[in-house]
Structure 1
């Protein structure tokens, strides 16, 4: 008798084909709808895991090491893509709005979220610090709808530039605070002088070395790609060079024990500056975007499944109230404080303050902290983080299209052309 049971390999292959088709089609289909790709992915994941048991728990808390590595992979690909698509030349003056978000908004967010952890959730000081460090940075992966377009697409307005550059750099700036939570959690058992080690190694060395490593790798790949005598890498037409640069930059930075997130983003900015107007910049950006979207969708399908299996610790009204404070009070308030005096309209400041999207990067930081430190209430931290992430994905996903289209229209830009001014009204790019 013929066995009609499906071969798991064939089922996975079919599902992968459908997933890749969705990666290509959904962004176009959702362009005018108040809906985002991450929301669709989570819904599909919930349906898949809800209809048929898969034989394993997809929750990030059940596989902390795998969660750390998979989210790490997606984040570094997203950072390369973010750096390649920024048209604005790097300078401290032209990136002033970025420094405000990094040096004012993020530290204030960490302090405020830590306060929420201590006084609302009742978590310990170290657990609250780790949670705050994980939730303070905006996410470079899930924020595609509020970021700038591809290289030389135009329409690089204040809001999109601010959120893209912030997401590119704040993952690196959050790492010292994550390490502070880790070294404090281990200080009682190691007996080390944690303050000297943290300041000298985790703050000074890892930041300086990470930026330097990224710049050097970017210079080398920029020369090989655009300047090398004879056949440059750009002549291959193969955008996979950007993936190679990502892996080399991150790998070397990790080998010398510095911040790889800094290194990758700086590599991307340096590689972009090697020949800003070359059409190969588009090829490199496109391949990173495609790889990022596929990996992101896989992660979000699993996250959707984890919502069906349930959180590792119960979620009550206290956790919901804390999540509301983090998303609706902490980020908007600290964002507006950081934007005081910034060259932006009131609507632009409100949009930047509101779209502090939390997601994949937060899961990476929490997994990294729990894997390298000793913290109590790990299951509860996972539950709170998952709650904040799903609320952020839904809230920001439903509002991003109408808000960004309204901002484009209010500034005389065409929302159907990526924020470009209507024909005949295009002027010089914002600086």
Structure 2
């Protein structure tokens, strides 16, 4: 197959992935689902055998492509969230209650659950089982767009009825907010467990090493990442919205590329000072969003990032689908299937329910969920590009036994999540939205 033919297939595939869901909007079909299916079909074509799709041959390429895709996603998520977080207000912290529960309870329980299944069922070494759990812990609502918040709400955009965004249905509800904010933060908070697995694989891990891991990888690098994100977000927000120089006040000029500059600067600065870059990017985006919450420039920046995010995600999924029918699943066995189904159907839903269902916040308050909303938040832990990045990062830094099996298992898990969550998100969220609307009218 020639290079021109490959470009043609890529272009037609992306076009179909964008157009098809609009044509069959009554059927729960998402662009990620279409791209994975198309990729699998393309993989069956007589492609040039010189082009290898074996991930073991492309550690660096996969790491950098998935890394950038995750970064773009984090910036988009941070700019989209409308619920502010005031560090000085306990009430503000309480409105984020489902997010803290998902991060502090669901993520560790998910890592532990997957690690136990990997060790007990798949017979993996404890360090490898821990790596598998850490790689599969991050969530990605971009792959099931109905469970993520929409574009930023602003004060100066009319909705066609003269009411502006204030008159629209607030899409930043507790379900979408919780899942979106969880995905923005857990991509960075999974890193300590990946590092722990790498330290265990390197050998010689003692009590002193455990203390160093807890103090540096869990606390130190997280604090650095947050501080870098807050600082850069504040500085860039001040420049864009309140600069004394008209030429530097980018919001007045409507130049949305500031979002990409902020993304790269935050990630680079955090990595230079050894903090968690993923966390810095998300915090920077939220800090930039808070600089002038209702300005239309927020929507312009989010629009640029969202388009790049969709392009990168769809391309990754297209190549993933192609690889699946060209040998990526060659090492998948019943153990990998059990790991994938256990995570999607048992571990995540159970861990999520424990987090939000035990001593729940009053459902009438911001951050409170009723039983149906708890079930939705617990179930829709969509696995995505972040899992591919963490595995690529790990195998690039340390020899990991059973790497081929891990790639098959992680890829299969991502595809199962894309298909299952993509097919169920639309009807589930439509039902919950309708129920919420009915309750608000009757109330």
Deviates further, 395-404 or 19-28: 19-28
More displaced 10-residue stretch of structure 1: 150-159 or 75-84: 150-159
- The 3 A distance-change label for structure 1 pair 68 and 426 is farther
Of the three residues 74, 81, 93, the one matched with 2:69 is 74
Structure 1 residues 292-331: aligned runs within 5 Å = 292-311=309-328, 313-331=330-348
Question: Structure 1 stretches of 5 or more lacking a match?
Answer: 1-5, 415-420
1:63-116 deviation line (CA, Å, top 9, x unaligned): 122111111000010000001011111131111110000001111111111100
Question: Does 2:185 correspond to 1:169?
Answer: yes
What corresponds to 2:411 in structure 1? 386
1:367 and 2:392 are equivalent in the alignment: yes
1:221 counterpart = 2:215? no
1:134 aligns with 2:135: yes
- In the other structure, the counterpart of 1:418 is none
Residue 352 of structure 1 aligns with which residue?
Answer: 377
Cα offset, 1:19, TM superposition: 5.3
Change (3 A) 1:205 1:241: same
- Aligned-residue offset at 1:122: 0.7
Q: Provide the rounded CA distance (Å) in 1 between the counterparts of 2:224 and 2:395.
A: 25
SS of residue in 2 equivalent to 1:121: coil
Pairs aligned (count): 411
Give the secondary-structure state (helix, strand or coil) at the position aligned to 2:258.
Answer: helix
Go from structure 1 to structure 2 and tell me whether the alpha carbon gap of 1:185 and 1:426 turns closer, same or farther (over 3 Å shift).
farther
TM-score when scaled to structure 2? 0.87
Unaligned 5+ runs, structure 2: 86-91, 154-164, 362-367
The answer to whether 1:396 aligns with 2:421 is yes
In 2, Cα distance between equivalents of 1:398 and 1:20: 19
1:48 aligns with 2:42: yes
Q: Sort the Cα spacing of 1:16 and 1:228 in 2 relative to 1 into closer, same or farther, 3 A.
A: farther
- The TM-score normalised by the length of structure 1 is 0.90
Q: How far 1:18 sits from its partner (Å)?
A: 3.8
Q: How does 1:74-153 map to 2 (within 5 A)?
A: 74-90=69-85, 91-152=92-153
Task: Tell me what 2:288 maps to.
Answer: 271
Instruction: Output the aligned Cα RMSD.
Output: 2.3
Alignment of 1:225-240 (within 5 A): 225-229=240-244, 230-231=246-247, 232-240=249-257
